[in-house]
Amino acid sequence: MTEVAIIGDRFMRSDLFEAALHAAVGDQVTCRSLDLPWPDQPMQHGYQVPGLDGLKEYMGDPEAVIAHVGAAPILITHLAPLSARMMDRLPSLRFVAVSRGGPVNIDMVAARERGITVVNTPGRNASAVAEFCIGAILAETRNITRGHDALRRGAWRGDLYRADVVGDELSALTVGVIGYGQIGTRVVRLLRAFGCRVLVADPYVQLTAMDAVDGVRLVDRDSLLAMADVVTLHARVTPETTGFIDRAAFARMKPGATFVNTARGPMVDYEALCDALETGHLRGAMLETFAVEPVPPDWRLLTLPNVTLTPHIAGASLKTVTIAAGQTAEEIRRLLAGAPPLHPC
């Protein structure tokens, strides 16, 4: 039997990985499991400050990870880090399955140099995030958050029915989607049902024939910012996109527009966003991800009345867990059968 080390957590639980794996390969593997305390305890973020050997978004003590993996040739992980120095102490490791859309907790250059195959689970939470994004847009544009906050304080905000305060229906709005990958395409699919005008900005994709039939338009980013009533961000963090929603980008947006970020915080200049919200240039914002997580308790965004904030939970669904465990198990089944991986990184 092949030994598999599993490192899960309190969302992507190791027993769910193990069950999916045994369902796929039976008794061809023997597993040993470890669960980390995320999300009850925050992960580390290497975006703002240097992390473990340059890794991003990880959890786990390197020594504990090394001890758990041991001589296993296969590792299944969600958040556990794997740096070059750690790989050097794991000479038997040959295959790593990361149950995420991007292996930001793995040193991919070092893995390639050492002949370690890394696979991921693209699209595992795409449906969850897309659904959440639609809810986020509605919560912010239709004053759901404002009404909720007021009632919790004991105030009945009848003024939310004023013509100069109410938000418009999605059917009357232009929504701009920046990034047209697994999540962005699903967001557009859901938006079609509302009858809104949809713009897409992504220099690396082409629209489908169905998009054209439905009136979806592919435009450049600056044009999208200038025309959209709602701008929703779905790009990945790359050197090209880091900080690209900056002060100039917010200035290009329509007065009274709404900004939504369910992607990643490092793409956004949050000080510039705060200024745009405070001056009233933007009507509001819905923010699900931040450059620093958890956010500082004295952060300026927490004091603004025209924002909806959630603690990076858009991908949190049971379906996400099921998809990720199933994709991971299938990759290992293929490995043991001598087939190539479906999603090599």
Topology alike, domains 2-124+317-336 and 126-309: yes
Q: In the annotation, is 312 catalytic?
A: yes
Residue pLDDT, tens place only, 272-294: 999 999 999 999 999 999 988 88
Predicted local distance difference test score (pLDDT) of residue 185:
96
Predicted local distance difference test score (pLDDT) of residue 320:
96
Choice among 3, 131, 278, 293 that is catalytic: 293
Residues in the chain predicted with pLDDT less than 50, given as ranges, are none
User: SS3 for 29-92, per residue?
Assistant: EEEEEEECCCCCCCCECCCCCCCHHHCCCECCCHHHHHHHHCCCCEEEECCCCECHHHHHCCCC
Predicted local distance difference test score (pLDDT) of residue 50:
67
Residue pLDDT, tens place only, 214-229: 999 999 999 999 999 9
Report how far residue 248's alpha carbon sits from residue 253's, in angstroms, rounded to the nearest whole number: 9
State the DSSP code for 158.
G
Instruction: Write down the domain spans for the chain.
Output: 2-124+317-336, 126-309
* CATH class of the structural domain 2-124+317-336: alpha beta
Find all residues with CB under 8 Å of 210, minimum gap 6, and list them.
none
Predicted local distance difference test score (pLDDT) of residue 101:
87
Count other C-beta atoms under 10 Å from residue 70's C-beta.
12
Computed on alpha carbons and rounded to an integer, the radius of gyration of the chain in Å comes to: 22
Quick check: 144 and 84 in contact, CB under 8 A? no
State the DSSP code for 297.
T
Phi, psi of 309 (to 5 degrees): -125, 135
Report the CATH superfamily, name and number, of domain 126-309. NAD(P)-binding Rossmann-like Domain (3.40.50.720)
Find all residues with CB under 8 Å of 37, minimum gap 6, and list them.
9, 10, 59
Quick check: 207 and 160 in contact, CB under 8 A? no
Q: In the annotation, is 264 catalytic?
A: yes
Choice among 221, 264, 283, 333 that is catalytic: 264
Question: To which residue do tokens 């305390």 refer?
Answer: 37
Compute CA 267 distance to the chain's CA centroid, rounded to the nearest angstrom: 12
Choice among 312, 330, 331, 333 that is catalytic: 312
